[in-house]
Amino acid sequence: MSGKVKTIGVLTSGGDAPGMNAAIRAVVRVGAYHGIRVMGIRKGYNGLITGDMVEMNARSVSETLQRGGTILQTARCLEFKEPEGVKKGVEIARVFGLDGLIVIGGDGSFRGAKDLCAMGLPTIAMPGTIDNDIDCSEYTVGFDTALNTVKDAIDKIRDTATSHERCSLIEVMGRNAGHIAIHAGIACGAEVILVPEHEFDFDEDVLRPILESKSRGKKHSIIIVAEGVGGVVEMAKQIEKITGIESRATILGHVQRGGSPTVRDRVIASQMGAMAVELLLEGKSNRIVCMQNSRIVDVDIEEGLAMKKELPQELVDLAKKLSV
C-alpha cells in the first residue's frame, strides 16, 4: 500500500441508483480500516467544484446500507463538461487535501473521472446506474433492485390485464439500452419486448404476436417497451384501433430508481467500493472497477469506455421462445 494517500473524496454522480449508499459506506469503512480520511462530496461534480464536502467516519454511514437514493445526493453538472470546470475541481481537491477521488456513477460520470485523472487528480470510477449500460462491466449497481421494482409492478399490471383480457404496454427505463427491458420481459413473461438495439416492424413484431397469443387462448398480452423506443401511449391506441383488443399504457418512470437495495446490489456495491479504495491506496488511478466473468476487477478508464456492450443474444432468443 502507498503511504502517500492520506485523504480521499467520494461522490455520486448522474442518476441515483439503489446501492449507491452501500458503495459510499464501503468506501468510508474500508478507508477507516486503512486509517485514511474520507471526505463525502455532495451533489456530484457540483460539490467538487464548490467545495461542498464533509469529513465522514464509520458512524456517518450507519443505517445507510438499506436506504435507496444517495446520502451524498447527486447531480448532473454541466460546468464539469468543460475543461475549466474540471480544472476548478482539481484545484478545490487540492485545497481540501484530497490525494484521490472515487466516483460512483454512469459512463458520463466516468468521462469526468477520466478528465480529472488527465489534470492530475488520481481517480477511480465504479458503476452505479440502474441501466446496466456500462460497456466494460457485466453489472452496474442498482440494476437488480430496479428490476425487482419493475417485476413487482408488472405482476400487478398482469392481474388487472388478465381480468379485463387487455393488452398492457409498460415502458421501462434504460436510457439508450434495453437491458432492463429484456430482463424484465423474461422475468415477467412478456409476449413482446421492444428494445432500442433492435429495429422492429409494428405489424410483424407487435400486432401479430398479440393476435396469435389471443387465438392460443392467452387472456392478456404484456408488452415491455424500453424508454429508448418510447411511444407506449400512441402504440396502445394503435393496437386497440387495429385489433379491437382493449389496450392500456403504463410508464413506470422514476419508481424504478428508488427503494431499498437488494442483497445483490448491497454485496456488489460493497465489493466495488472496497476495491476502489484499495486501488487508490496502491497508487493506481484512471481505473474503472467493474464485473467481468462474475469477478470484480479493474480496467483502464479509456479502454473501458471504448468497449461495446451488446444485449445478450441468448436472452433475446430465450424471450422469443418463452412467449409462445
Angle at CA 172, nearest 5°, toward 306 and 156? Answer: 150
Burial of 294 (0-12, 13-18, 19+ CB in 10 A): exposed
Report the DSSP beta bridge partners of residue 103. 11, 125
Please tell me which residue in 16, 115, 131, 135 is annotated as part of the active site. Answer: 131
Q: What, of ligand ADP, ligand F6P, none, does residue 174 touch, CB below 5 to 8 Å by kind? A: ligand F6P
Whole-number Å distance between alpha carbons of 52 and 45: 10
Question: Stretches 73-81, 244-252, 263-271, 286-294: which one binds ligand ADP (CB under 6 A)?
Answer: 73-81
Whole-number Å distance between alpha carbons of 260 and 12: 17
* Closest separation in Å from C-beta 10 to ligand ADP: 15
Among 16, 99, 115, 265, binds ligand ADP (CB under 6 A): 115
- Among residue numbers 98 through 117, which ones bind ligand F6P (CB under 6 A)? 106
Q: How far is CA 61 from CA 28, 52, 55, 72, in A?
A: 7, 18, 11, 11
Stretch (H or E) spanning 243: helix 232-243
The answer to whether 15 contacts ligand ADP (rule: CB under 6 A) is yes
Stretch (H or E) spanning 204: none
Among 12, 129, 137, 323, binds ligand ADP (CB under 6 A): 129
The answer to whether 108 contacts ligand ADP (rule: CB under 6 A) is yes
Q: Pick between residue 25 and residue 257 the one whose CB is nearest to ligand F6P.
A: 257
Cα within 13 Å of Cα(23), Cβ side: 38
The closest alpha carbon to 68, from 146, 177, 173, 174, belongs to: 146
Whether 317 sits among the annotated catalytic residues: the reply is no
Q: Is the dihedral of CA 65, 68, 72, 77 positive or negative?
A: positive
* Closest separation in Å from C-beta 16 to ligand F6P: 8
Residues 265 and 272 sit within 8 Å (Cβ to Cβ): no
DSSP secondary structure letter of residue 79: G
* Closest separation in Å from C-beta 50 to ligand ADP: 13
DSSP letters spanning 15-44? S--TTHHHHHHHHHHHHHHTT-EEEEESTT
Q: Pick between residue 78 and residue 322 the one whose CB is nearest to ligand F6P.
A: 78
Q: What, of ligand ADP, ligand F6P, none, does residue 173 touch, CB below 5 to 8 Å by kind? A: ligand F6P
Question: Stretches 1-9, 153-161, 173-181, 237-245: which one binds ligand F6P (CB under 6 A)?
Answer: 173-181
Site string for ligand F6P, 14-53 (x = CB under 6 A): -x--------------------------------------
The answer to whether 13 contacts ligand ADP (rule: CB under 6 A) is yes
Q: What, of ligand ADP, ligand F6P, none, does residue 185 touch, CB below 5 to 8 Å by kind? A: none
H-state helical runs in 244-308: 263-281, 301-306
Cell of 76: 448532473
**End-to-end CA gap in the chain:** 56
Binding-site size for ligand F6P (CB under 6 A) equals 10
AA identity, residue 87: K
Residues 124 and 114 sit within 8 Å (Cβ to Cβ): no
Q: Pick between residue 89 and residue 100 the one whose CB is nearest to ligand ADP.
A: 89
Question: Stretches 54-62, 77-85, 234-242, 275-283: which one binds ligand ADP (CB under 6 A)?
Answer: 77-85
Q: What, of ligand F6P, ligand ADP, none, does residue 257 touch, CB below 5 to 8 Å by kind? A: ligand F6P
Binding-site size for ligand ADP (CB under 6 A) equals 17
Task: Point out which residues bind ligand ADP (CB under 6 A).
Answer: 13-15, 45, 76-77, 80-81, 105-109, 111-112, 115, 129
Task: Point out which residues bind ligand F6P (CB under 6 A).
Answer: 15, 106, 129-131, 173-175, 227, 257
